[in-house]
Amino acid sequence: MMLRLGHDRGTTQLPWLTSRHTFSFGEYLDPAHMGYRTLRVINDDVIAPASGFGMHSHHNMEIITVVLSGELEHHDSLGHRELLRAGEVQAMSAGRGIRHSEYNPSPTSPVHMIQIWIHPRPKGTEPRYAQSSFPLELRNDRWCPVVGPIRGEAQILGIDQDALLFLTRLSGKKMLEYSVHRQRSCWLHVATGSITTCGHELQAGDALALDGPATLTCTGGAPDSEVLLFDLADDGAQQLS
């Protein structure tokens, strides 16, 4: 088991952006935190009103965006012009190359989002884009699968990697369990609120990694806590000590 505390993350502070980096990103470099299994980036971003990322490019990365509050406007080189709201998730396979922009269209309210990058298995594939809404009734006090390997399931967003992402909004004192199987690992990230798991109280921004076989038990702390759970193939990576 390994803890990654939120206050130890890297920070990018700009007039229009506050970003906390779980793993090395941009000018933040920490050789001890370059990613986990196939996870490469978890950025906790707050974008100021009427601001955002201009058009920029990505290659050979699975990019997932979870909107926690506010709205995010997305444009890309595939022709998509979309608006993501709280409770919606976007999955974009950059493949051989894609350009996109991310903008907060509100003149008054910030947007809070988690952006995730996952290494793909094949490289140079055709870029793809998808988004979907996962309303509270699907996420309240249960693990709601939102992203997973491309297998044709219409209810989740597909990516080119053996990785699953679950979301929950965990109520105070409610308990959830998750079984981490042999040759699998999980990364648990608390986005808002607080939970107790494995004898540790985790606050917003904190994370925990666990190798299987194991059972992960989470108990809600704050009235409502938004939690992300990644189930990842070990992929030959070194086990946690």
Per the structure block, which two tokens stand in for 223? 């009235």
What's the confidence (pLDDT) of residue 6?
Answer: 98
pLDDT band at 238; cut points 50, 70, 90: very low
Q: What angle is formed at CA 204 by the lines to CA 11 and CA 213, rounded to 5 degrees?
A: 105
Cα Rg, the chain, nearest whole Å: 17
Query: In residues, how long is the chain?
Result: 241
The pTM of this model reads 0.95
pLDDT higher at 135 or 235: 135
171's CB contacts (< 8 A; 6+ apart) are 140, 141, 220, 223, 224
The mean pLDDT value of the chain amounts to: 94
Q: How confident is the model at residue 182 (pLDDT cuts 50, 70, 90)?
A: very high
Give all strands of the β-sheet with 62-69 in edge-to-edge order.
10-14, 17-21, 39-47, 111-118, 62-69, 88-93, 128-133
Mean pLDDT in residue range 103-119 = 98
Write out pLDDT tens, residues 63-78.
999 999 999 999 999 9
Q: Are 167 and 218 in contact (CB under 8 A)?
A: no
Question: Are 117 and 41 in contact, with CB atoms under 8 Å apart?
Answer: yes
Residue 239: the pLDDT is 36
Burial class (CB in 10 A: 0-12, 13-18, 19+), 122: exposed
Q: What is the pLDDT of residues 121-165, one digit of tens each?
A: 999 999 999 999 999 999 999 999 999 997 655 679 999 999 999
Superfamily of 2-233 according to CATH: Jelly Rolls (2.60.120.10)
Q: Is the pLDDT of residue 234 over 60?
A: yes
